[in-house]
Amino acid sequence: MKTITLPDELQLQQQSVQIFDYHSSQEVAKQQIILNQNTFSFLMEGTKEVIFDNSSVSIDHSAFLMMKSGHCLMTEKLSEKNHYKSVLLFFTNDILLKFLRKIELSTTQSVEYHPVYSFSYDEFIRRFVDSLLDITHLSKNTQHQILEVKLEEILLYLAEIYGTDFLYSLTLKHNDSPQKFIRTVERNQLSKLSLSELAFLCNMSISTFKRTFEKHYAESPMKWFQNKRLEHAHYLLNQGQKNSSEIYEEAGYENLSSFIQTYKSKYGMTPKQHHKN
């Protein structure tokens, strides 16, 4: 799958704050996206899921996202009207730091790292998005000047409602390779992400990802992930509330037969036999 770099491939002018009115009639699944700027995605129609190294968020048109620059996997599904629409507001780290200095917020506060935040719409936000669309009809020079003010407006409003943790989190640098690698693997141990998708989230080639994995975990990715999924299935069966046909997908397996076979190979009995015990 081709990797898309945003906002570069939208053919926008290189500005510190940029807007793009995005429409689509095609669904995409786990599209590899490189965000070169932080991004607000004001979803208007359809549903959206994004997966980052340690976070995944799904929303419908009742919510919108703020995403930190970096690598992510993006899924977009159409509305009942077979349409997808999102207003994208891109902004650089430099303009964010300029804003933080202006309002005298220190960026040294210790907060948990999150590369994506989900917020609910209210009437203020809906009017704000409408105003962004109005700005797209103005000249490029005027757009640029107004958009800097509009960015401050939305950041101040969200900080008033939700506090400032999301602002601090945007400024954190979490590109340390060992930590990012382990965070990505541990967070996605029960997901259905392929090795190529995990490698992309780590900003690695597949071969580098495999070598790094074996260095940290002393076994192949395939074997490690299989054991983690089987251990999770074993735990669920021990709870006695679900049978194998109910948990194989939750354990990360595409079909029931492969789950039964690998489970028996590890534990010496089928999930059904385990469940009866």
Residue 20: partners with Cβ closer than 8 Å, 6 or more residues away: 7, 10, 12, 87, 88, 90
**Angstrom distances, CA of residue 232 to CA of 191, 194, 225, 269:** 12, 19, 11, 16
pLDDT given for residue 250 in this prediction: 79
The reported pLDDT for the residue numbered 58 is: 97
Helix (H) or strand (E) holding 167: helix 165-171
Question: How high is the pLDDT of residue 66?
Answer: 98
Between strands 47-51 and 70-77, the pairing is antiparallel
Predicted pLDDT of residue 172: 80
Instruction: Tell me the domain boundaries of the chain.
Output: 4-171, 177-276
* CATH code of domain 177-276: 1.10.10.60
Which residue shows structure tokens 């208007």?
44
pLDDT value at position 174? 66
Token digits for 43? 């979803």
Identify the pLDDT of residue 23: 95
Question: Which tokens is 202 given?
Answer: 């780590």
pLDDT the model gives residue 176: 64
Same fold, 4-171 and 177-276: no
pLDDT value, residue 108: 52
User: What is the per-residue pLDDT across 214-262, written as a single tens digit (0 to 9) for each?
Assistant: 999 999 999 999 899 899 888 888 887 677 788 888 777 878 888 888 8
* Predicted pLDDT of residue 106: 56
pLDDT the model gives residue 179: 84
Residue ranges of the chain with pLDDT lower than 70? 1, 105-110, 174-176, 241, 275-277
The CATH class given to the 4-171 domain equals mainly beta
